A = this chain, B = another copy of it.
Amino acid sequence: MDGVHDLGGRQGYGPIDVNEPEEAFHEAWEGRVLGMVRSMSRPEDWSIDWFRHCRELIDAVDYLSRPYYDSWLQTYGAMLVNSGVATVQELADGKDRGAASTLPPALAEAQVPDAAAAPVLFNRPLSDPPAFQPGDKVRAKRHRHSGHTRLPQYVCGVAGAIHACHGGHVFPDAMSAGEDRGETLYTVAFQIGDLWGDVERPDDIVYLDLWESYLEPL
């Protein structure tokens, strides 16, 4: 979707706070959100792509103005309501009004160290060979669909070159709609001067990781 989250190259967002303190969490509640997200029980058909899409669907002003982990809370709240696990009213006052959860069990404290050391893998075997090879010229497709996609607007219609091929990876556009299937993932190199008209050094490079169906041969 052409949402407000798709920020690459947008202008007018001001300077960066380069002097931010370095500690992990600036407010205690931030860590609580992260901890909940990492350990709560959840419907089996949630995915990180569905989460990302639900986050993209936050009202634009809220998306831009709320603290980061607050937007996670908003997103998980919406996912819980959408899945019928909680109601808006329950999220508003924190009081359970439903039956006991029938979801898979929550992560127990003792399981945290193992969970924290387990990488999640997104590669998926594919039977078909990749359509492109490193060095091939490609163009990112101009049109996107209204659902979740990881093809940013700023490369749409722009020509680049395949930098690397990573084999099959979970295709987010499908996964966010509940379908776990792989598609070949590439790293694609774009000359920054092809992306924007007013750059300092046109031969600087921006790399993006893009799936095969985002690309067309050139």
Contact = CB atoms under 8 A, between A and B. Distances in A.
Interface of A: 1-4, 9-14, 56-57, 59-61, 64-65, 142-146, 157, 196-198
A201 to B, nearest CB: 16
18 contacts: A2-B9, A2-B11, A3-B10, A3-B11, A3-B12, A4-B4, A4-B12, A11-B146, A12-B57, A12-B59, A60-B64, A61-B64, A61-B65, A65-B65, A143-B196, A144-B197, A145-B197, A157-B157
Work out how many copies of this chain go into the complex: 2
Given A61-B64, A65-B61, A146 B198 contact: yes
B198 A12 contact: no
Contacts of A197: 142-145
A64 to B, nearest CB: 5
A196 B156 CA distance: 12
Given A2-B9, A65-B65, A143-B197, 19 more contacts: A1-B12, A2-B10, A2-B11, A3-B11, A3-B12, A4-B10, A12-B57, A12-B59, A12-B60, A13-B60, A14-B59, A60-B64, A61-B61, A61-B65, A64-B64, A143-B198, A144-B197, A145-B197, A146-B198
